[in-house]
Structure 1
Amino acid sequence: MSFLDSAAIASRRQRQVQRVLYVTLGLNVLVFLIKLILGLTTGSLSLIADALHSSTDSASNILGLVAVRFSSPEPDDDHPYGHRKFEAIGALGIAAFLGMASLEILRTAVERFWEPQPHLQIDELTLGVMVGVLGINVF
């Protein structure tokens, strides 16, 4: 395989990864908004926490798009082996997003343990929307 063939394959792979990240970003933003609205209207900590998780997924998608953009596989004079390490740095950033979300969820759960909230009010519409969001998450 020649250098041009491998560069074309790498470029095609990069476009495919970007396409997947854009679609996933759109779905994550949609799911985040639905979960946040339902969580705030019902007072459900689990939905608000899941909305926070979806927001970190969205931030991870954006970070992934940036990392893919900067990890162009073509070597240059300063980087004879390319820029692939940007992907590793992006993965580290995604781990940091998830860590921050986990700490926030834990903090809120402990806070609500000591100061309980009123009972949740979930109607049929809310339940239906939650099942629809579950379908998007499984997708």
Structure 2
Amino acid sequence: VLTHSQALIADGIHTLSDLASDFMVLFAAKLASKDADEDHPYGHDRIETVATVILGLALASVAVGIGMNAFDRITHPEKLLQPTPLAIIFVLLGIIAKEGLYHYTMHVAKKINSNLLKSNAWHHRSDAFSSL
């Protein structure tokens, strides 16, 4: 909003939704790593599958919202603003942060052998590329 950049606003909303999904992924990974018990004789691994589906639905919802907003701005040119040069600094900071999240998440994923965390790490990397 400060830099008048619709792309940064969309990226910020996407990043906020990613933050929420990261907490969900970490919670699911922690639950999935529990050993089998009386109520779950085969373990808790399926929680990762459920979390992956929820994560996919959340990302699809965010994509639809961003697309609708972009369509509104395209069809109403008076809503288009000229971004300020400060936007570049925010973009660069975002790219660095997202790439850092990729490396950290992948490190943890390999450490605990979690496919869900590996997927989330690649999601961070794809976000860095989309920000670029």
TM-score, normalisation: structure 1? 0.64
Instruction: State the Cα deviation string for residues 52-76 of structure 1 (Å, max 9, x = none).
Output: 1111210111111221232243111
Residue 41 (structure 2) aligned to one of 80, 91, 97: 80
In the superposition, relative to structure 1, how do residues 100 and 58 fare at CA in structure 2: closer, same or farther (>3 Å)? Answer: same
- Kindly indicate whether residue 75 of structure 2 is the aligned counterpart of residue 119 of structure 1: no
Query: What runs of 5+ residues in structure 1 fail to find an aligned partner?
Result: 1-39
1:118 CA drift (Å):
4.2
What is the alpha-carbon distance in structure 1 between the residues aligned to residue 66 and residue 80 of structure 2? 19
What is the alpha-carbon distance in structure 2 between the residues aligned to residue 69 and residue 129 of structure 1? 33
In the superposition, relative to structure 1, how do residues 126 and 74 fare at CA in structure 2: closer, same or farther (>3 Å)? Answer: same
* Number of residues of Structure 1 aligned to a counterpart in Structure 2: 99
Tell me the secondary structure at the aligned position of residue 102 of structure 1: helix
Instruction: State the Cα deviation string for residues 4-31 of structure 1 (Å, max 9, x = none).
Output: xxxxxxxxxxxxxxxxxxxxxxxxxxxx
Query: What runs of 5+ residues in structure 2 fail to find an aligned partner?
Result: 101-132
**Percent identity between the aligned chains?**
27
The alignment yields a C-alpha RMSD, in angstroms, of 1.7
What is the alpha-carbon distance in structure 2 between the residues aligned to residue 49 and residue 127 of structure 1? 15
What is the alpha-carbon distance in structure 2 between the residues aligned to residue 94 and residue 71 of structure 1? 15
Which residue is equivalent to 1:70?
Answer: 31
The code of the aligned residue for 1:120 comes to Q
Residue 60 (structure 1) aligned to one of 2, 21, 24: 21
1:80 CA drift (Å):
1.0
Asked if the contact 2:73/2:80 (under 8 Å) is kept, the reply is: no
- Kindly indicate whether residue 70 of structure 2 is the aligned counterpart of residue 109 of structure 1: yes
Matches within 5 A, 1:1-139: 40-116=1-77, 117-123=79-85, 125-139=86-100
| Moved segments of 4+, more than 3 Å | none
TM-score, normalisation: structure 2? 0.67
What is the alpha-carbon distance in structure 2 between the residues aligned to residue 121 and residue 83 of structure 1? 48
1:121 CA drift (Å):
3.7
What is the alpha-carbon distance in structure 1 between the residues aligned to residue 32 and residue 87 of structure 2? 42
